[in-house]
Structure 1
């Protein structure tokens, strides 16, 4: 990237019938110092701007660097829809469009065309209804880049990573293996150090069972699987706390002890995070060869088309992407 040029951030609109396109319009209206490149259908954005009651200047992206961006302007890499969107009513015919935007963003990051990806929410069910097996952004980017990844949600006050992501609760215990937990913790440790600047990250690990198993009386996963894995990693130099009972791990006295939490499943810790910082929480994918941030909410189909969707989480995701890009660039310059 040229000296003085704004970071080029690929921004995907997600589900065309959801609030994503409108969120992109609101993001473009900010004064954030980024060269945002919206990877979506150009006319979709024009219609979203009308629904928001605002004007937007859309500029075809030619890959060139810029040193400033006026609020209300947005570069676009056009990926056509297969069917006209109907707000609030996802159409499986547009599944390929959504996946094409994600592939272009990921490939563009890996080739150096973009410095990071910021994603608006998509509708997983609509993609699956099209006959394409799809679990989510995190799994898609992992497969595309052939990476081992970890999902993390972060607010200014709390970071929570997940040992398992989009699994039925009944499938979680079998997925918590020593190998999988070790991989997750190594990725979180490396990314807290490399992306967030913690020289010696402190990671709290939640138990799987109530009261972290209560010495085996409420389950043996902690004794048989988790504790041996944590002890081996401690011997390798990682600073790990736990397994901790999930019901007390987030009290203020505990929070002072760690820099991030690793939860065993999706709904074990995320309600805590979202209840206190919903509009300031960002979804990150750790372990990728590029920076990817996202909103912490879904497509809000009931709000789609109204122009009233709150863009705070997407703006927070863009801010965090810019911070991570700046930290990475500073690290490269020091090296």
Structure 2
């Protein structure tokens, strides 16, 4: 026996549409998870490399300060310096050295975080990545255009849109229950007076005919189902609108955050360069007898602080760019160079 329903009022078409939209929504949800994980991995990697660079800088600073302390102690022994200068330089050296353990612990923490995000042991991660590399260069940001034009690229927006389409299709499925259903019924078999004639051609029997069904006695129940489906569609519409608004908010915030991070990184790098030049001038004045060690210490302290701030700003700019690519659903994975 077989039965075929003739889709007179679109019930089967709407059911099929709802199923396909559900599948599209599930695929978009998976894409959204992957997008978030990829962004977290990129940001964790950038933070890890940035902290490594800050740690290297602090270690170099400690070594340079130790060398300066040795020179000042030699000058003191030769009667050309003061104990105050030596002690102030020692205090600065100890202050910078005290920052090294915290940075070392932060490197380990970020390394562990990156291993968790990439689902591999730390030993395998270390074997795969170079021990230390510079912070990846941040590419120039091209014009992104109207943020609203990027909305359809975002998987969370596509997911909510497909969920809305599925809910709307199910309203049509329920409304089709108000109308009759027409089915074609068919059967095939054999009829014979004796067993020997059972499978002969003349014994074959075919039957085909229509079947009409209509739930007109249950119109009240059907209307309640329609109202429930419409309520679910309205809820899906509200959810979609909220998703779009959140996406616009995230995009605008990411753009503003990147612009601010970019400006801060440029200004702090300029300040770092100026502080380095100031330190060289202070040392030259000291050697020429026109300046003193206090001026050098002040210039050196300023340069050390700005150097660390400039490195931190570079990390902030890089992670802000990742956040922007995530908000715009950009392909920051393929764009990033292998490190």
TM, length-normalised to structure 2 = 0.19
The higher-RCO structure (CA 8 Å, 6+ apart) is 2
Higher normalized helix content (fraction of residues): 2
